[in-house]
Amino acid sequence: MSVTSVNIEGARERWVRTGGVELCVAELGDASQPTVLLVHGYPDSKEVWSEVAERLADRFHVVLYDVRGHGRSTAPAPLRGGFTLEKLTDDFLAVADAVSPDRPVHLVGHDWGSVQGWEFATVERTEGRIASFTSMSGPSLDHFGHWIKNRMSRPTPRRAAQLIGQGAKSWYVYMLHTPVLPELAWRGPLGKRWPKMLQRLENVPADGYPTASLPQDAAHGAWLYRDNVRARLRRPRSDAYAHVPVQLITPLDDAFLSPKLYAELDHWVPQLIRRTLPAKHWIPRTRPDQLAAWISEFVRTNEDGIPARDTVATGPYADRFGGRLVLVTGAASGIGRATAFAFAEAGARIVAVDRDAEGATRTAEMARLIGAPEAWGEVVDVSDEQAMEKLAEKVATEYGIVDVLVNNAGIGLSGSFFDTTAEDWKKVLDVNLWGVIHGCRIFGKQMADRGQGGHIVNTASAAAYQPSRALPAYSTSKAAVLMLSECLRAELAGQGIGVSAICPGLVNTNITSTTRFAGADATEEKRLQKKTSRLYGLRNFPPEKVASAILRAVAKNQAVVPVTPEARGAHLMSRFAPRTLRAIARLEPPL
């Protein structure tokens, strides 16, 4: 059959002969740099790694090979018994010795490449040949075997549910154990439809992957399951401890593997770092930027001899936001600053944006102290479209595409409708609404164009759903932000981009001392600002709690998040007792 391959830019190919097969090996980058060895899964070939490999090649010696029987590597004869983990370990050692004879390699595996990787990282004969292991979407069969045994021997309702949950996700494993049928399906209709299925079900981009060798790869690869799964799950090794540091990357929406599978992994891995991604199974195709960033960081820290646990942030949500690029507007003060700090504590890279230059720089400096590996302060007026365009260009070229965008900058405006001038309206809408629109249009577009998901948070307010005679303009601006967020959430859902609207009640920040009071002269305005500040001070709800709610909203992809009890109460009333809320709206403000 004719075999074409996705072009991996700059790859040099060579052949490695081992145990009766010839393995096709591709190399990129400078061979004097640390070697990162990427092992593909099922049904895949080495080209599944093309996007990740190209991103790593400027820093590392990147090596990929077609597993025996896949891609351009030859298959063992007979097939039965030719795919045991012992033979696959021989292949790995032959490739590692050929490409990096003097230095251990940094192993990375996806799916069956990861299942193999666990074997390599836990058997004695590879000791000294592996410097680190990054595992994604493929457990150790030994660990999996013990995981099942633990749940069978000491069942609780939760453990039984986990067992049933993973059992249901493993339907394809039983199918692959039937003789002949999988081969017929892959060489027939399934092989033809698979590329379209990957695009539809997994959001894999239509960029020429999988390669034409897919039906053959899938037919041969069925022996990976038949030669190993039953035997290992029945008699898992009890000494399958990792002798290298491991980074575990878990896509949270994996249709084939439950994140619960890794619950007991700390027992097997003395040096374990966990990362999670809101993504499906085929992350080498759908999230190459994130994978390349995490692999680079892990390889670097291990090369420098620093235990990853000492450099990788360990705060709440560290597994979710570590190394991600987060941009927060209005980050010089209040909720924005607290949010930048909370993401920094989780190990994210921070762009702190504000029109207050000094405040933004200060936030960035403190974010670095708190745990951000990198942080920058940037000055912009969010209502200025051109300035926002320029900032977005700078951020994309210098720091990367934003993973989490927090449109938070906002100003207060109080006063009756007739006291509010057209100029007042313009100002509040320019910042509170147009600032959010520009952020979503410009940074959100970059996120969508990249095609690797992300999250947008817009700071609205409880005022978005709670009418009040005191805040007509401010409430209107926030109601618009809430609706914009809902509409955008619907539009971007299919692209893996979540949108959350945060609706705080009264939060103790500087906003009260800068809020404009329409209709009041300067002295009266000062008095009202002071009085409001005192009131908010007495209420004393800290911005840090809003920041926690923002991180939770991103992690759980929540749509509308009222924060503070009064905001939650008003939200319930807006749905179930709108007349009461309207009656409250008529009350004179207590100022």
In the complex, the residues that contact ligand NAD under the rule CB under 6 A are 329-330, 332-336, 354-356, 359, 381-383, 408-411, 431, 435, 459, 461, 504, 506-507, 509-511, 514, 543
Residues 447 and 402 sit within 8 Å (Cβ to Cβ): yes
Cα dist. 537→331, 383, 411, 507 in Å? 20, 29, 18, 8
> For ligand NAD, which is the closer residue by CB, 359 or 496?
359
Measured from the CB of residue 278, what is the shortest distance to ligand NAD in angstroms? 25
Measured from the CB of residue 517, what is the shortest distance to ligand NAD in angstroms? 15
> For ligand NAD, which is the closer residue by CB, 3 or 379?
379
Q: Is 268 helix (H, G, I), strand (E, B) or coil?
A: helix
Cα dist. 22→69, 72, 73, 176 in Å? 9, 9, 6, 25
Compute and round to an integer the Cα radius of gyration of the chain.
Answer: 27
Question: Given 65, 465, 474, 536, which residue is catalytic?
Answer: 474
CA distance 463 to 395: 32
Structure tokens at 220: 């041969």
Measured from the CB of residue 433, what is the shortest distance to ligand NAD in angstroms? 10
Helix 357-370 vs helix 334-345: angle between axes, to the nearest 10 degrees?
Answer: 30
Q: Say which amino acid occupies 6.
A: V
> For ligand NAD, which is the closer residue by CB, 10 or 542?
542
Of 384, 467, 385, 473, the residue nearest 422 (C-alpha)? 473
Element (H, E) at 35: strand 35-39
Of 128, 106, 103, the residue nearest 117 (C-alpha)? 106
Structure tokens at 361: 């720089």
> For ligand NAD, which is the closer residue by CB, 116 or 459?
459
Task: Name residue, tokens 């593909």.
Answer: 40
> For ligand NAD, which is the closer residue by CB, 218 or 563?
563
Q: Is 172 a catalytic residue?
A: no
Ramachandran quadrant class, 422 (left: phi over 0; alpha: psi -120 to 50; beta: rest): alpha
**Is omega for the bond preceding 210 within 30 degrees of 0, making it cis?**
yes
Measured from the CB of residue 506, what is the shortest distance to ligand NAD in angstroms? 5
Q: Say which amino acid occupies 457.
A: V
Measured from the CB of residue 355, what is the shortest distance to ligand NAD in angstroms? 4
> For ligand NAD, which is the closer residue by CB, 429 or 431?
431
Q: Say which amino acid occupies 561.
A: V
Measured from the CB of residue 503, what is the shortest distance to ligand NAD in angstroms? 7
Measured from the CB of residue 388, what is the shortest distance to ligand NAD in angstroms? 9
> For ligand NAD, which is the closer residue by CB, 209 or 434?
434
Residues involved in catalysis:
474
